[in-house]
């Protein structure tokens, strides 16, 4: 059993008529994901890869009983597209784009919470339940079904970990790209209860990085509520203060808030296994398995 | 993008936030022309993106036209913390009866705007926060809502701001919040917010940090983006859509990779093994051979770089493109050694090509092995 998406997920691709949307819709279909509709305003009535395209999320939902949507839209249009998806009652909205204005995400983060919608991303590769379905652009061939759940702020560190896990014979239950932005739709704390409740997940990997306080908040939650073993990596220990390391969210403020030390000590105190590198994550997994 | 004071003042003006009227100048001739018509004493402030301008001699108070030109000339010629002063911002000096502090910023924990106000302190706000925390109010504002009056009343009551200032304070609060939201600010700050001798509130300094991802909504700020970047490698890398990150002055190792997380974990692992990474370049996704060639040229031209660790986990980025990019750049990299790790799309084709030409290149398999090999080379 995976959570967020699985074989029964009926997925909309918003922006399916664009270059990226079309390419990745094809990849998702090749992974046997049920892509049931595309949405592009003004392109309703057409078809892409045999998938019907609608003008609105409401119509796509009504005609195809869709229950999740992934947004391949540029950052400028992310707010409008995600707002439409949330207000149309989609229970799961997955956003990809890098470069979304932070004030847009501020509004969407709180709107999704208020409406009970799970909003994932942006600046994310999406979500994959290996062997079942994927909603995003991750290179799916490196993922294997298994019992390790992963949530990651970084795509590349997640790929590296998954690649090393494959070599060592480990697979994943559900992998979520939390994304590298300052305000994500869902935080580690939002996702931890889902991993804890998921029967397939036996071990949780959390790939964090400098900036913000999501890892500290996760540590507090884990201490109280999570009984499964958690392995964490914090990237950016040697990043200079006040410099964004590429991800908009990966910045230690000049007064030191968001530092790797603060995160690692909170996690260690909560009983989390703190890894020093992606390779070290796999070493810890071997000990736990 | 953290705006310079004079640019931030333009934003304040657009929202009608009361401040002293000033002007910006970049040449001594401009100062000479303007000097006779000004009201003295004046204030001249260096426009550079760093704190401690006053201590460095970048803020002066001329009493007459001769001093104005002379002091302006000295500031225009100086560097503060390595940043050359290209512009000065000037305005008539105002007598200060009192300094307050007001800002709006984002609280990352709650993901909400937060208003920070203190009726005392001004530039000494950090001291107030430590010694008189009851004089400081931090109030979260719900997403998507206006700054309702009761938030302002709450801040006034909590800090004991005197009744005669409340009306002007409320107006400034609303205008600054309006600027914060509509101008996509990470921070909008008035420090100090002063009371002048007539009892009016004025913004004496202006600080505005606009979200880089929202600059397209404020096209008037776009021309400043390069002006605000002092590091020429950062500027040049940006022109190719790369992110160049100066890390520290020590060390001779540079890291090139394809993704923010990978850059950070590569630097972490190298540092953990007792070596210093001086700079890094993020290729982003899908770089072509031509662009990789440019990336190598830019990094190799940084003075102290003698070793470049190229760590690629290719998804959209193809390893054969990386190999061809290295081949193309090789002629210009004679005094730099390369350590190359390729994984992912077209790895085998890339590695085969990499082995087909000479050069000072060491191929490694995996990040851990790469860092171990790096230690061997650097310490040899």
CB B209 within 8 A of CB A242: no
The whole-number pLDDT of residue A1 equals: 54
* CA distances from residue B134 to B23, B151, B164, B187 in whole angstroms, order as listed: 37, 17, 21, 23
- Dihedral pair phi/psi, residue A212, rounded to 5°: 70, -165
pLDDT, tens digit (0-9, with 9 covering 90-100), for B257-266: 999 999 999 9
Find the closest chain A residue to B1 by CA distance: A244
Query: In sequence order, which residues have a C-beta less than 8 Å from that of residue B176 and are 6 or more positions away?
Result: B15, B17, B102, B103, B104, B188, B190
**How many CB atoms lie under 10 A from the CB of residue B191?**
22
Find the closest chain B residue to A260 by CA distance: B268
Helix (H) or strand (E) holding B348: helix B347-356
ipTM over 0.85: yes
Among A280-289, B26-35, B277-286, where is mean pLDDT lowest?
B277-286
Does B265 contact A101 at a Cβ distance shorter than 8 Å? no
Does A102 contact B345 at a Cβ distance shorter than 8 Å? no
The whole-number pLDDT of residue A52 equals: 98
Find the closest chain A residue to B368 by CA distance: A279
* CA distances from residue A182 to A45, A102, A106, B152 in whole angstroms, order as listed: 37, 7, 9, 27
Mean pLDDT to the nearest integer, B159-180: 97
The whole-number pLDDT of residue B225 equals: 80
CB B305 within 8 A of CB B254: yes
At B139, list the tokens: 């109030």
What is the pLDDT confidence band of residue A253, given thresholds at 50, 70 and 90? confident
Query: In sequence order, which residues have a C-beta less than 8 Å from that of residue A89 and are 6 or more positions away?
Result: A61, A115
CA A28 to chain centre: 16
* CA distances from residue B104 to A42, B112, B354 in whole angstroms, order as listed: 39, 10, 53
Is residue B211 less than 8 Å (CB to CB) from chain A?
Answer: yes
Is residue A27 less than 8 Å (CB to CB) from chain B?
Answer: no
* CA distances from residue A248 to A273, B214, B285 in whole angstroms, order as listed: 26, 12, 16
Mean pLDDT to the nearest integer, B66-76: 96
Cis peptide before A185 (omega within 30 of 0): no
Please state the length of chain B: 380
Closest residue to A213, CB basis, from B106, B108, B260:
B108
In 3D, which of B39, B36, B10 has the Cα closest to residue B24?
A: B10
Interface of B with A in 330-349 (CB under 8 A): 343-345
Is residue B216 less than 8 Å (CB to CB) from chain A?
Answer: yes
Taking the CA of residue A245 and the nearest CA in chain B, the distance in Å comes to 6
| Gap between the terminal Cα atoms of chain B | 42
pLDDT, tens digit (0-9, with 9 covering 90-100), for A175-213: 999 999 999 999 999 999 999 999 999 999 999 999 999
CB B214 within 8 A of CB B182: no
Taking all residues of chain B, what is their mean pLDDT, rounded to a whole number? 92
The whole-number pLDDT of residue B314 equals: 78
CB A135 within 8 A of CB A5: yes
Find the closest chain A residue to B184 by CA distance: A103
Answer whether residue B379 shows pLDDT above 80: no
Which of B248, B250, B264, B367 is the best mutation test for A, with the most CBs of A within 10 A?
B264
Helix (H) or strand (E) holding B180: helix B163-182
Mean pLDDT to the nearest integer, B338-342: 95
What is the pLDDT confidence band of residue A252, given thresholds at 50, 70 and 90? confident
CA B120 to chain centre: 28
Query: In sequence order, which residues have a C-beta less than 8 Å from that of residue B150 and are 6 or more positions away?
Result: none
Question: Which ranges of B209-330 would DSSP assign to H, the alpha helix?
Answer: 224-227, 232-239, 260-272, 289-300, 319-329
In 3D, which of B261, B348, B253 has the Cα closest to residue B309?
A: B253
**How many CB atoms lie under 10 A from the CB of residue B230?**
14
The whole-number pLDDT of residue B77 equals: 86
CA distance B117 to B110: 19
**How many CB atoms lie under 10 A from the CB of residue B209?**
16
The whole-number pLDDT of residue A172 equals: 98
Instruction: Report the predicted TM-score, pTM, of the whole model to 2 decimal places.
Output: 0.94
CA B15 to chain centre: 23
What is the pLDDT confidence band of residue A79, given thresholds at 50, 70 and 90? very high
pLDDT, tens digit (0-9, with 9 covering 90-100), for B110-149: 999 999 999 987 767 778 778 888 889 999 999 988 899 9
In 3D, which of B321, B302, B322 has the Cα closest to residue B311?
A: B322
pLDDT, tens digit (0-9, with 9 covering 90-100), for B253-288: 999 999 999 999 999 999 999 999 999 999 988 789
Q: How many CB pairs under 8 A join A and B?
A: 144
Mean pLDDT to the nearest integer, A254-267: 90
CA distance A266 to A243: 23
Does B213 contact A101 at a Cβ distance shorter than 8 Å? yes
Residues in chain B with CB shorter than 8 Å from the CB of A211 are 108
CA distance B172 to B187: 15
Query: Strands, DSSP E only, in B294-355?
Result: 307-314, 337-344
Closest residue to B260, CB basis, from A107, A160, A180:
A180
What is the pLDDT confidence band of residue A90, given thresholds at 50, 70 and 90? very high
> Can A109 be counted among the known catalytic residues?
no
pLDDT, tens digit (0-9, with 9 covering 90-100), for A47-60: 999 999 999 999 99
- Dihedral pair phi/psi, residue B143, rounded to 5°: -60, 135
What is the pLDDT confidence band of residue B293, given thresholds at 50, 70 and 90? very high
Percentage of residues of chain B with pLDDT beyond 70: 100
Taking the CA of residue A188 and the nearest CA in chain B, the distance in Å comes to 12
Mean pLDDT to the nearest integer, A223-250: 93
Interface of A with B in 88-147 (CB under 8 A): 99-104, 106-107, 109-111, 138-139
Among A101-105, A214-218, B1-5, where is mean pLDDT lowest?
B1-5
Does A180 contact B211 at a Cβ distance shorter than 8 Å? no
Percentage of residues of chain A with pLDDT beyond 70: 100
CA distance A156 to A246: 12
Taking all residues of chain A, what is their mean pLDDT, rounded to a whole number? 96
Pairing of strands A11-14, A68-71: parallel
Phi-psi region of A99 (alpha: psi -120 to 50; beta: other; left: phi over 0): left
CA distance A174 to A121: 15
Is residue B257 less than 8 Å (CB to CB) from chain A?
Answer: yes
């Amino acid at each position: 059993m995976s959570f967020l998406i699985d074989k029964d997920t009926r997925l909309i691709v918003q922006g399916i008529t664009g270059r990226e949307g079309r390419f990745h819709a094809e990849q998702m279909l090749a992974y046997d994901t049920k892509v049931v509709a595309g949405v592009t305003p003004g392109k309703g009535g057409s078809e892409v890869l045999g998938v019907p395209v609608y003008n609105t999320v409401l119509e796509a939902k009504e005609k195809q009983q869709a229950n999740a949507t992934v947004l391949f839209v540029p950052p400028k249009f992310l707010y409008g597209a995600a707002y439409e998806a949330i207000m149309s009652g989609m229970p799961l909205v997955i956003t990809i784009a890098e470069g979304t204005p932070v004030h847009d995400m501020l509004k969407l983060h709180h709107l999704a919470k208020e409406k009970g919608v799970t909003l994932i991303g942006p600046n994310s590769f999406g979500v994959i339940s290996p062997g079942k379905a994927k909603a995003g652009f991750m290179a799916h061939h490196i993922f294997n079904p298994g019992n390790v759940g992963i949530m990651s702020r970084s795509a590349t560190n997640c790929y590296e970990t998954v690649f090393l896990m494959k070599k060592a014979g480990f697979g994943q239950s559900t992998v979520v790209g939390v994304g590298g932005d300052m305000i994500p739709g869902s935080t580690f704390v939002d996702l931890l209860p889902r991993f804890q409740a998921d029967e397939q997940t036996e071990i949780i990997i959390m790939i964090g990085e400098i900036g913000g306080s999501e890892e500290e908040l996760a540590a507090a939650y884990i201490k109280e509520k999570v009984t499964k073993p958690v392995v964490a990596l914090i990237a950016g220990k040697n990043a200079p203060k006040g410099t964004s390391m590429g991800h908009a969210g990966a910045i230690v403020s000049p007064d030191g808030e968001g530092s790797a030390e603060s995160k690692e000590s909170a996690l260690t105190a909560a009983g989390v296994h703190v890894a020093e590198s992606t390779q070290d994550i796999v070493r810890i997994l071997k000990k736990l398995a | 993008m953290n705006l310079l004071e004079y640019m931030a003042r333009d934003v304040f003006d657009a929202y009608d936030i009361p401040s002293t009227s000033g002007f910006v100048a970049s040449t001594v001739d401009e100062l000479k022309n303007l000097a006779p018509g000004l009201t003295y004493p004046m204030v001249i402030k260096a426009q550079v993106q760093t704190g401690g301008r006053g201590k460095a001699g970048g803020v002066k108070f001329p009493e007459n036209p001769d001093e104005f030109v002379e002091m302006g000339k000295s500031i225009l010629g100086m560097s503060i913390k390595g940043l050359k002063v290209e512009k000065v911002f000037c305005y008539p000096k105002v007598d200060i009866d009192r300094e307050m502090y007001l800002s709006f910023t984002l609280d990352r924990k709650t993901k909400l705007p937060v208003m920070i106000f203190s009726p005392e302190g001004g530039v000494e706000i950090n001291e107030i926060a430590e010694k008189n925390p009851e004089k400081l109010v931090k109030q979260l504002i719900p997403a998507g809502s206006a700054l309702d009056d009761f938030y302002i009343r709450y801040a006034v009551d909590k800090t004991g701001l005197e009744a005669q200032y409340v009306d002007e304070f409320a107006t400034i609060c609303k205008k600054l919040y309006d600027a914060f939201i509509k101008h996509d600010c990470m921070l909008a700050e008035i420090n100090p917010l002063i009371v002048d001798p007539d009892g009016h509130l004025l913004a004496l300094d202006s600080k505005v940090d606009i979200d880089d991802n929202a600059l397209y909504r404020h096209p008037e700020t776009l021309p400043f983006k390069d002006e605000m970047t002092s590091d020429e490698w950062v500027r040049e890398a940006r022109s190719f859509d790369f992110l160049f990150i100066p890390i520290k002055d020590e060390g001779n190792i540079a890291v090139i990779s394809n993704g923010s997380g990978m850059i950070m974990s590569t630097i972490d692992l190298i540092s953990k093994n007792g070596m210093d990474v001086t700079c890094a370049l993020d290729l982003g996704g899908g770089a072509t051979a031509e662009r990789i060639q440019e990336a190598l040229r830019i990094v190799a031209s940084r003075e102290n770089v003698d070793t470049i660790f190229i760590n690629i986990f290719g998804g959209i980025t193809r390893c054969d493109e990386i190999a061809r990019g290295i081949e193309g750049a090789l002629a210009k990299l004679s005094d730099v050694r390369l350590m190359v790790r390729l994984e992912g799309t077209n790895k085998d084709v890339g590695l085969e090509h990499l082995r087909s030409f000479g050069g000072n290149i060491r191929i490694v398999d995996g990040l851990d092995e790469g860092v171990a090999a790096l230690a061997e080379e650097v310490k040899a």
